[in-house]
């Protein structure tokens, strides 16, 4: 049954802990209630903001429409074969809890994505990724409901048009669909990804030799690394990585590398090199910066933080200063990874 409320604080529902209000608020626990909601005449023309874990959103003002909190649960095996198991997962399932479930069952593919905040429904929108693995590598399909018609549709891998922290749901279909479940293809025979970042070094420190390598060990290494570098949203308001790592022409990278020999770069293709935005921001002098309660984290410059009572506008103003500074120093444009709601 739908319980639509008025004037609800969103502070507990966004990891930046921004104190903004929703004009209307409803929590959805199944697909049928969502379809019913979308056909209610009183709300058909009302702007809607879809919330999962609230871990990838910056609220810059009160939301004068309807905030829809997706709480659809469930982890079910839809089918399996000799090599793979296919899990259909509700959009409201906590992402890290899903990863731990898979690791516990021996289903491989998600272990490098441990401790990423948020819910399953938001994951394909963003094509989340970490430590050399992206969601699209374990994605099979998803179901979503059209906001205007209430009709359910299945999207395959090809339909989603995944890119780096991108999908069709952030571009052509932005705001048109609400994801209700995602089906993942996990591996019964793991392929280990340990070369990105400090995974191998951390595994060595943990005493995990190559012959003892497992998806559980990789998951634990990733959790250790993330906890050592990234602030806990329960302690300091943040949305994780605020900016995407930019991809620049190889010729530009080579030129910058002559000026800055320590500049890291990861080839994306023969023409493009991915550069860590955190390194650029740190070199531009922003690491540990604070103005009022808005700041740049002292351990990871890629993370903008709310130390207490910063507004969304203050965080956004800081983000723009950081962007301008990086552009001026390196000639590189960095773009927000976080969904900014104005």
Residue 211 belongs to some domain of the structure: no
Residue at which a domain ends, from 16, 49, 70 = 70
Could you say which of 31, 134, 314, 337 is catalytic? 337
Residues 243 and 320 in one domain: yes
Residue 229 belongs to some domain of the structure: no
Active site residue 337: yes
- pLDDT band for position 84 (cuts 50, 70, 90): very high
Of residues 123, 183, 118, 146, the one with CA closest to residue 31: 146
Residues 163 and 48 in one domain: no
Residues 65 and 79 in one domain: no
Active site residue 79: no
Residues 10 and 51 in one domain: yes
Residue 320 belongs to some domain of the structure: yes
Could you say which of 141, 226, 241, 314 is catalytic? 241
Q: What is the pLDDT of residue 59?
A: 98
Residue 225 belongs to some domain of the structure: no
Q: Residue 69 half-sphere exposure, CB side, CA atoms within 13 Å? A: 19
Residue at which a domain ends, from 32, 50, 70 = 70
H-run or E-run covering 258? helix 250-259
Residues 251 and 332 in one domain: yes
Report the percent of the chain where pLDDT is more than 90: 96
CB 91 within 8 Å of CB 52: yes
197 pLDDT above the threshold of 80 = no
Residues 183 and 261 in one domain: no
Could you say which of 165, 181, 220, 226 is catalytic? 165
CB 124 within 8 Å of CB 142: yes
CATH number for the domain that contains residue 293 = 3.90.78.10
CA distances to 73, 111, 141 from 95, in Å? 11, 11, 16
Residues 29 and 110 in one domain: no
How far is Cα 252 from Cα 246, in angstroms, rounded to an integer?
12
Active site residue 195: no
Q: What is the pLDDT of residue 171?
A: 93
Residues 130 and 35 in one domain: no
- pLDDT band for position 34 (cuts 50, 70, 90): very high
Residues 54 and 96 in one domain: no
Residue 210 belongs to some domain of the structure: no
| Residue-wise pLDDT tens digits, 137-171 | 999 999 999 999 999 999 999 999 999 899 999 99
Q: What is the pLDDT of residue 1?
A: 80
Domain span at residue 27?
Answer: 5-70
What is the mean predicted confidence (pLDDT) over 115-121? Answer: 95
Q: What is the pLDDT of residue 253?
A: 98
| Residue-wise pLDDT tens digits, 275-321 | 999 999 999 999 999 999 999 999 999 999 999 999 999 999 999 99
Residue 176 belongs to some domain of the structure: yes
Residue 326 tokens, joined: 């990086």
Residues 322 and 256 in one domain: yes
How far is Cα 309 from Cα 237, in angstroms, rounded to an integer?
9
Residue at which a domain ends, from 19, 46, 70 = 70
What is the mean predicted confidence (pLDDT) over 35-55? Answer: 95
Residues 29 and 116 in one domain: no
H-run or E-run covering 169? none
Q: What is the pLDDT of residue 289?
A: 98
């Amino acid at each position: 049954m739908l319980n639509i409320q008025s004037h609800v604080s969103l502070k507990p529902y966004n990891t930046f802990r921004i104190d903004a209000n929703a004009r209307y608020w409803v929590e959805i626990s199944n697909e049928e209630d969502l379809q019913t909601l979308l056909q209610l005449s009183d709300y058909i023309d009302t702007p809607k903001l879809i919330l999962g874990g609230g871990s990838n959103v910056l609220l810059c003002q009160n939301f004068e429409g309807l905030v829809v909190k997706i709480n659809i649960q469930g982890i079910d095996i839809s089918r399996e074969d000799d090599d793979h198991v296919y899990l259909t997962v509700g959009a409201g399932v906590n992402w890290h809890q899903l990863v731990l479930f898979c690791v516990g069952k021996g289903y491989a593919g998600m272990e490098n994505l441990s401790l990423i905040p948020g819910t399953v429904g938001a994951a394909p929108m963003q094509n989340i990724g970490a430590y050399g693995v992206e969601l699209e590598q374990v994605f099979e399909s998803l179901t979503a409901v059209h906001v205007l018609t209430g009709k359910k549709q299945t999207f395959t891998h090809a339909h989603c048009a995944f890119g780096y922290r991108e999908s069709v749901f952030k571009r052509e279909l932005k705001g048109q669909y609400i994801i209700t479940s995602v089906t993942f293809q996990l591996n019964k025979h793991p392929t280990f990804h340990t070369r990105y970042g400090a995974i191998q070094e951390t595994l060595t420190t943990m005493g995990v030799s190559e012959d003892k390598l497992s998806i559980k060990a990789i998951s634990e290494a990733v959790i250790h690394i993330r906890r050592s570098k990234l602030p806990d949203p329960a302690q300091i308001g943040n949305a994780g990585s605020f900016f995407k790592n930019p991809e620049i022409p190889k010729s530009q990278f080579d030129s910058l590398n002559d000026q800055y020999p320590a500049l890291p770069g990861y080839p994306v293709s023969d023409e493009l090199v991915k550069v860590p935005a955190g390194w650029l921001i740190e070199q531009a002098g922003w690491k540990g910066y604070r103005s009022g309660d808005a700041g740049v984290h002292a351990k990871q410059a890629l993370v903008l933080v709310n130390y207490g009572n910063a507004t969304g506008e203050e965080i956004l103003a800081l983000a723009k200063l950081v962007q301008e500074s990086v552009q001026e120093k390196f000639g590189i444009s960095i773009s927000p990874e976080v969904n900014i709601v104005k």
